[in-house]
Homo-oligomer: A and B are copies of this chain.
Amino acid sequence: MFSKTAEYALRATIYIAQKSSEDNKLGIEEIAKSIDAPRSFTAKILQLLTKDNEVISSVRGPNGGFYITEKAKGLSIRTILETIKEDDVFTKCVLGLKACSEAQPCPMHFQYKPIKQQLIRLFETKTIRDLAKELKTGERFLANFRPRKKTRVTK
């Protein structure tokens, strides 16, 4: 569904939102490791998202790193995808027809329409904060490996 770029962008953003704050910034090393993505590539993607500090904020130097403001946490997941220009799913025809429209629908158009609308609704409704919150409960995961079995506490 999404490109690697989009996947890493989403994972990184959610991770940063969960773990960071203005006075607890995260380094690229930690971020990349935590979301199981290539370090330098992730850095490049974050550069896109830090343009004008719109989605992600960053500062350089010691104790620098990435974080997300409370305000930015209110942005929708779709916004992340729009920022990196990966929002084709929401706008394009399933069959890739430029001319596909309500007036000149492709054979999938009307059947796909309600699904697409749900997709849009989901990605527009869900905020960065929402996803970060879910993650915090420990019932959702970003790490790409099996969790260690809960060590049973023996008396």
Q: Which residues of A contact B (CB under 8 A)?
A: 1-2, 4, 7-8, 10-11, 14, 36, 77, 88-89, 92, 94-100, 104-109, 111-112, 114-115, 118-119, 122, 126, 131-132, 134-135, 139-147
C-alpha spacing A121/B10, complex, angstroms: 26
Residue from the list B88, B94, B97, B140 in contact with A109, Cβ < 8 A: B140
Tell whether, in the assembled complex, residue B115 and residue A119 are in contact, meaning their CB atoms are under 8 Å apart.
yes
A150 to chain B, nearest CB (A): 13
| A105 neighbours in B (Cβ, 8 Å) | 139-141
**CB pair A14 B122 closer than 8 Å:** no
Chain B residue at minimum C-beta to C-beta distance from A122: B111
Say whether B142 contacts A95, CB under 8 Å: yes
Which 5 pairs show the lowest CB-CB distances between chains A and B? A7-B96, A107-B131, A107-B140, A107-B134, A104-B141
Among A11, A94, A109, A143, max chain B CB count under 10 A is at A94
Is A141 a contact of B99 with CB atoms below 8 Å? yes
Given A7-B96, A14-B107, A134-B107, A88 and B1 contact (CB-CB distance below 8 Å): yes
